Structure 1
Amino acid sequence: MSDPSLYCFPRTLDCRLMAEWGVFWQALSTICAVIVGAVGLYKIYRELERLYEQRQKDIEDKNAAGKLKRTEFFLNQHRRLFDNTELFSVLCLIDGDELSLATGVGMPDKKRKFLTFLEEIALLVKSGQIDAHVAYYMFGYYANCALTGKNFASGIDTSKKYWGLLYQFAADSRDYLDQHPDGPPHDLSL
């Protein structure tokens, strides 16, 4: 420490000019800023990654909730077919196109209600609210029986001009059932 222009770090032999110490501290502060900046960028990256994962989870949860609602709705429609006495009375007779469909008391109104139910399903399929393949599998057979049964058609007008949407649904369901003669495919889901 004989040279008065040198400044030494306390308790060391490291002595430098004031300009050299300025460059040293400037370099040290730049290195610290780079390290703090890198840590900050890493934290920002991890936070963005966490937010992306949370968003993906929210989307999956929303899709699962939507799928559950669609399933509940679809099962309610299917249950409606069996729980409603008028619909069920037609359903019990439709397989064999029973004579009671033509001669039964109040049958024309019940058959119209049945056709309306099937057309509602067809409309839901057309609008993409329920999966077409599931609807074809669950309701297509009944639509075809209704539109081809002679006793079913007795007393009501089942012409295409009134039930066009149902005719298209029945044709599509016939195609679907022809493509899957052994039952639904394994990947059928709501």
Structure 2
Amino acid sequence: MSDPSRYCVALIDTCLTMAEWASCWQAASVIAMVIFGSVGLYKIYQELRRLDEQRLKDIQDKEVTARLKRTEFFLAQHRRLFDDKDLYEILCLIDSDDPRLADERMWDKKRKLMAFFEEIALLVRSKQIDDNVAFYMFGYYSYCAMYGENFKHGINVCEEYWGLFFEFATNAKVHNDSMSGPPPSMSL
């Protein structure tokens, strides 16, 4: 027969005092807490990993989107140079510093081209367009304009009024003279 101070469980055929049973339940709850805590920590770790992967993917997507927008903008500027009737007319004459550039009807068109180069220079200066790309794609025409005598006719082409243009053309000349073709690392 069992001792009245001991409590028995028929299922496991064990008899223990109330203090012993309390210790057993404490041990069982500690083990359960460790198991549930470990599972919880694992779930937290997995969620943090998933959030970190999502954050990295979002950053990568933003970079790809920004690169695509820069490419679209750059190509739009390049198309603008060749699709705009006035700019294209000047480009066709600028290589040889054609005497027709000195004609009074060309003066506003030449200013328009110089303003275009100043816009590109501003984008390069603010690091919105890579300088290698800008110098390679637009630099030749800018220094043809800067050094062309017929191009300068009718426009006060001085650094005081066209500082960004001068900066861009000078840097493009130095850059393109030191390169033979597009730089291998050139990208938008």
Sort the TM-score into its range (normalised by shorter chain). over 0.9
Q: Contact between 2:132 and 2:183, CA under 8 Å: does it hold in 1?
A: no
Following superposition, which runs of at least 4 residues in structure 1 exceed 3 angstroms of deviation? none
Between the aligned residues of both structures, percent identity stands at 57
Letter in 2 for 1:72: E
Paired with 2:31 and 2:175, the residues of 1 have a C-alpha distance of 69
Equivalence for 1:13: 13
CA distance in 1, matches of 2:177, 2:84: 30
1:106 partner SS: helix
Listed as ranges, the matches of 1:25-174 within 5 Å are 25-103=25-103, 106-174=105-173
Once the two structures are superposed, what CA deviation does each residue of 1:13-66 show, in whole Å capped at 9, x if it has no partner? 322212111100111011101110111111111111111111111111111111
2: distance between equivalents of 1:24 and 1:93?
97
Give me the whole-angstrom Cα distance separating, in 2, the residues matched to 1:176 and 1:7.
Answer: 93
Measured in 1, the distance between the counterparts of 2:145 and 2:72 equals 26
- Separation in 2 of the partners of 1:9 and 1:143? 96
Shift of 1:145: 0.3
The CA distance in 2 between the partners of 1:9 and 1:61, in whole Å, is 63
1:84-135 CA distance string (max 9 Å, x none): 00000000010111111113x6111111111111111111111121111110
Partner Cα separation in structure 1 for residue 57 and residue 2 of structure 2: 69
Aligned equivalents of 1:2, 1:8: Cα separation in 2: 8
Match of 1:183 in 2: 181
The aligned amino acid for 1:157 is: N
TM-score by length of structure 1 reads: 0.94
Instruction: Measure how far apart 1:9 and its partner are.
Output: 2.1
SS of residue paired to 2:161: helix
Q: Conserved in 1, the CA contact under 8 Å of 2:94 and 2:144?
A: yes
Q: How many residues align?
A: 188
CA root-mean-square deviation: 1.2
CA distance in structure 2 between the aligned counterparts of 1:62 and 1:10, rounded to whole angstroms: 66
User: Offset at 1:6?
Assistant: 2.2
Whole-Å separation in 2 of the counterparts to 1:162 and 1:46: 60
